[in-house]
A = this chain, B = another copy of it.
Amino acid sequence: MVELQTHPIDTVFHALSDGTRRRMLRELAQGERTVSQLAEPHDMSLAAASKHIKVLEGAGLIRREIHGRTHLCRLEPGPLATAHEWLTFYERFWTNRLDILERLLREEDAQKSARDELQKNPLKSPAPQKSETEPETGEDR
């Protein structure tokens, strides 16, 4: 359908929609890697891996530094920050939701027993509690 005027964030989200590429990013989070190093754990031809790397590069998610015949890739976090920021707009929805649930519970149990505990301990968002460790989401192996 031709898709003239592709927004940059299109290519970022598209790049992230593939498990192989997400695994490559996760690998690059550990440090620089050559193309063959990135390709090695993936059961596919080097040419296929090379294409994936080019998709990541096209999205600005990695940069490549050519040293002789080897290409060193490094993570480029800018687009990830952009995507993160984009999603942040919707943050109020998954936090609001908890506030609403809390309010509903409080109203429903208005004459029940648990009211006092809830009011003293308002459970202000049960917390994702996993930002510094690797998220299991996105089959990171």
Binding site for B on A (CB under 8 A): 7-14, 16-19, 22, 25, 29, 75, 77-78, 80-94, 97, 128, 130-132, 134-135, 137-139
Contact = CB atoms under 8 A, between A and B. Distances in A.
Number of copies: 2
Q: Is the interface of A mostly helix, strand, loop or mixed?
A: helix
Given A86-B135, A89-B131, A89-B135, 20 more contacts: A7-B137, A7-B139, A9-B137, A10-B19, A14-B17, A25-B90, A75-B93, A77-B93, A77-B94, A80-B87, A80-B90, A80-B94, A81-B94, A82-B137, A84-B87, A84-B88, A84-B91, A86-B138, A88-B135, A89-B134
24 contacts: A7-B19, A7-B138, A7-B139, A9-B22, A9-B137, A9-B138, A10-B19, A13-B14, A25-B90, A29-B90, A77-B94, A77-B97, A80-B90, A80-B93, A80-B94, A81-B128, A83-B87, A84-B87, A84-B90, A85-B135, A86-B135, A88-B135, A89-B134, A91-B131
